[in-house]
Structure 1
Amino acid sequence: MTFAVRAMLCLALVLCSGTARAQATDPYDDRVTIFATGDPEMAAATEQALASLDEFLKLAEAPPPGASRFKLKVKVKDGNVTEHFWVVPFRRTETGFVGILSNQPAEVHNVVLGQNIEFTRDDISDWGYTRDGHQVGSFTVCVMFKKMSKEEADHLRTKFGFDC
């Protein structure tokens, strides 16, 4: 049986919004895109992210000039439901990682926006950061653009520096 996977897409800055999401620890708005478990494009994006995860983690520990907003996307399970969230900021621990959940959950009920969560490397599905105004990584976001209208995807690419 296939279960829907909720992939949280944090893109639009909430600078003028009066919603509760404007109080998030990460100044991104939530966009929910549903992918079936095993979606080939999402699986390929996750594989690409994980193949370069070690390089990203080294870079996050000693960021070069112009690099900031290092983030990890992690999966959270609640029974048979899985959602993916950006965690910003994050840090390594003896057993894995800890960081602040930066999206409002839509389907899982065992975490909340702004909560410190602990996770392991096995929970990571993507990574990203900003370098000189351009997004680096965020491979799953590029897949999500394909499910948006061209206008919305182009707007977000331009506003946040995505090159995909």
Structure 2
Amino acid sequence: MKFTIRAALSVMLALAPAGVQAQSADQAGDKTVAVAADDPEMTAAIEQARATLDDFLALSAAPPPGTDRFKLKVKIVDGDATEHFWVIPFKRTATGFAGILANEPELVRNVAFGQYIEFSRDDISDWGYTRNGHQVGSYTVCVMLKKMSAQDADDLRSNYGFDC
């Protein structure tokens, strides 16, 4: 079984200046990075994100100066298809979390770009934010960078502040 993690558009959308309208995957030349469900690096990245989620949530509730673009990545399942999407913005609810789906689905059909979704803590596969122009978190993106072409990975690193 494979699952897909949104790559370039996920990163660009999460980092876009406030007020910028999101583009669909086709408009942005988005690429999808397919990763085996049992990929050890991706599994470790998701575990790291989940292990540090409470610290991230506390920080996002009271962002210090120089931080912005707080986001969560969530797993969406539709039958046998699984895809992971950034949710920007997000908020806590009485039963979990909710926010706006920031990517155009490619595999799953039960959600749509821009849709308000509700999800649980168990659905969260990553988190991230920007601190003084550099990415913090986004552990799954760091794994995806290794699986992209060198040019695509270098572009994301230089344009969006990834240090991994």
* TM-score, structure 1 as length reference: 0.89
The answer (yes or no) to whether the contact 1:11–1:31 under 8 Å persists in 2 is no
For these two proteins, the number of residue pairs brought into alignment is 155
**Counterpart of 2:107?**
107
Give TM-score, length-normalised by structure 2.
0.89
Aligned residue number for residue 120 of structure 1: 120
- RMSD between superposed Cα atoms in Å: 2.0
Confirm or deny: 8 A CA contact 2:100 2:117 kept in the other structure: yes
Q: What residue number does 1:134 align with?
A: 134
Alpha carbons 1:11, 1:29 under 8 Å: kept: no
Aligned partner of 1:36 in structure 2 is 36
- Structure 1 portions without partners, runs of 5+: none
Unaligned runs of 5+ in 2: none
1:21 Cα shift? 5.3
Aligned partner of 2:2 among 4, 13, 30 = 4
Instruction: Report the counterpart of residue 161 of structure 1 in structure 2.
Output: 161
Do the aligned partners of residues 29 and 125 (structure 1) sit closer, same or farther apart at CA in structure 2, a change above 3 Å counting?
farther
Aligned to 2:98: 98
CA contact (8 A) 1:11 1:30 kept: no
CA distance in 2, matches of 1:31, 1:64: 33
* 1: CA distance, partners of 2:71 / 2:80: 25
Q: Which residue of 1 aligns with 2:69?
A: 69
In the alignment, residue 128 of structure 2 is paired with which amino acid?
G
Bigger strand fraction: 1
Higher helix proportion: 2
Give the match's secondary structure for 1:12.
helix
